[in-house]
Structure 1
Amino acid sequence: MQVTTKAIVLSSLKYGDTSLIVKVFTASDGLKSYLLKGVLTSKKGKLRPALFQPLTQLELVANHRNKGSLESIREAKLAHSYKTLHSEIVKNSIVLFLSEFLTICIQEEEKDQGLFSYLEYALIWLDENKKIANYPILFLVHLTNYLGFYPDMENTHFPYFDLQEGCFTNTPSLNPMMDGMALDGFRQFLGINFDGIIPIKLTKKTRQELLKKVLLYFELHLQGFRSPRSLAVLNAVFD
């Protein structure tokens, strides 16, 4: 079946000397993997390798057989042209981290328009703004809403956040907990949009500790989750 859909590139892997296997999150069908035969050597083809950089927003004309095998792309063009996302070193480090993160988290071949629209908006915001040190944390906090485990907003004044139960509590338990400066920072990310991160002031140590706790939160709630290898690079650029 031929499908025309918006899509966001999650990853690309060289296959042989001339081809790519590209993993893409589509608006029409969720996660899809495509084999781009000869794309690395073809000079006249409609597909260019530069289109498949991480988190690029595309419009695809693709053939979907929906049999669990690699699909094919007939045409691809930019749906949105980024100005800074792949050229500025800090933003590119965030892109590499998020693309790996989303590749780990998104596993379903089914339509999720809410998640797709969120990713479109969040990536364009990152491209257009400069104060982005707090961006990865809010991106992940919002992402939990689409994956089904957004933190319970009741009793946010309590001194502990139970990472296993996803709620604030007045007393610690044997479950992994968040407290102290990390929790003070965490509260500031709840219920805000991306513009709301600009005035948030965190020390480097608190930001890294909070990101570490958020990643643990994903590990506790998402089966098969593992911390992205690109986390070290992300921490380095904000060091």
Structure 2
Amino acid sequence: MLHKTRGIALSYIRYRESSIIAKIYTEAFGIQTYIVNGVRSSKSKTNRIALFQPLTLLDMVVYHKSKDDTIHRISELKCYAPFFTIPFDVLKSGLALFMTEILGKALREEENNEPLFRFIEESVMQLDQADRHFENFHIQFLMQLAHFLGFGVENIADLERELKDNHYPNSSDAQEHRAAEQLLLSDYGQAILLDRTRRINILEKLIFFYKIHMDNLGEIKSLEVLREVLR
């Protein structure tokens, strides 16, 4: 049966000579896997593979037979909000890579969750549109995403307490604690003074916090990229 849905591209792997298997977070069906034939063919007249780059926002018509199927097919596909800056800005590309990796590991539900979809969609669009003060974007994204995943905190004291209870080795100084509290309570784009060392400290604490609640998070490979671009 054909269904219309929006989707957010997360990742893909090559399959056979010219196809891919793509992981997409959809508005209607949650996280889903699709096989796309011929997308890597040299004979293709369009660069359709670009539609599966991380966080691309998609309008889709898809085949879904039943919940028992683990891989589905796409009938129609187009981008409904092309990026203007993310692919061309080194920092934004690094942030997008990190967000994609987190989402690929955190999103497990194969059912619709419209508030979560809208949050991710709006976050991606705000990152693309931001012209300044987005160096802390990934930290705020993690803080807000945690609420949708069921383990968000209302203040940084609660976060620090949970870290301590789970034997996290490092504590915050007053400046780091204050900046983390501001990040938790602020919207994207607000200027919050934070040096590179403290920014990395807060990020590592958040990743540890996620690992407390998500056994499958594992190693975050894009962290090394962030450390390079976030000077």
* Shared fold, TM over 0.5: yes
Unaligned stretches of 5+ residues in structure 1 = 165-171
Unaligned stretches of 5+ residues in structure 2 = none
TM-score by length of 2: 0.91
CA contact (8 A) 1:159 1:179 kept: no
* Count of residue pairs the alignment pairs up: 227
Q: For residues 178-204 of structure 1, what are the alpha-carbon distances to aligned partners after superposition, in whole Å with 9 as ceiling and x for unaligned? A: 4324323211112221133xx201010
CA contact (8 A) 1:36 1:72 kept: yes
Partner of 2:5: 5
CA contact (8 A) 1:85 1:126 kept: yes
Worse-superposed segment, 201-210 or 63-72 = 63-72
CA contact (8 A) 1:46 1:75 kept: no
Relative distance call for 1:24 and 1:47 in structure 2 (3 A) is farther
* Distance in structure 2 (CA, Å) of the matches to 1:22 and 1:160: 35
Structure with the larger helix share: 2
Secondary structure of the equivalent of 2:91?
Answer: helix
Relative distance call for 1:160 and 1:79 in structure 2 (3 A) is closer
Partner of 1:234: 226
Partner of 1:182: 176
Q: CA deviation at 1:173?
A: 5.2
1:148-159 maps to which residues of 2 (within 5 A)? 148-153=150-155
CA contact (8 A) 1:10 1:23 kept: yes
Relative distance call for 1:67 and 1:43 in structure 2 (3 A) is farther
Q: Which runs of 4+ in 1 moved over 4 A?
A: 42-47
Q: Which gives a bigger RCO, structure 1 or 2 (Cα 8 Å, sep 6+)?
A: 2
Q: Which amino acid aligns with 1:98?
A: M
Partner of 1:89: 90
Q: CA deviation at 1:237?
A: 0.6
CA contact (8 A) 1:10 1:102 kept: yes
Relative distance call for 1:160 and 1:148 in structure 2 (3 A) is closer
Worse-superposed segment, 33-42 or 102-111 = 33-42
* Among 174, 181, 187, the residue aligned to 1:193: 187
Partner of 1:163: 162
Partner of 1:216: 208
Relative distance call for 1:111 and 1:42 in structure 2 (3 A) is farther
Q: CA deviation at 1:47?
A: 8.1
* Distance in structure 2 (CA, Å) of the matches to 1:160 and 1:2: 44
Partner of 1:121: 122
Q: CA deviation at 1:107?
A: 1.2
Q: CA deviation at 1:45?
A: 7.8
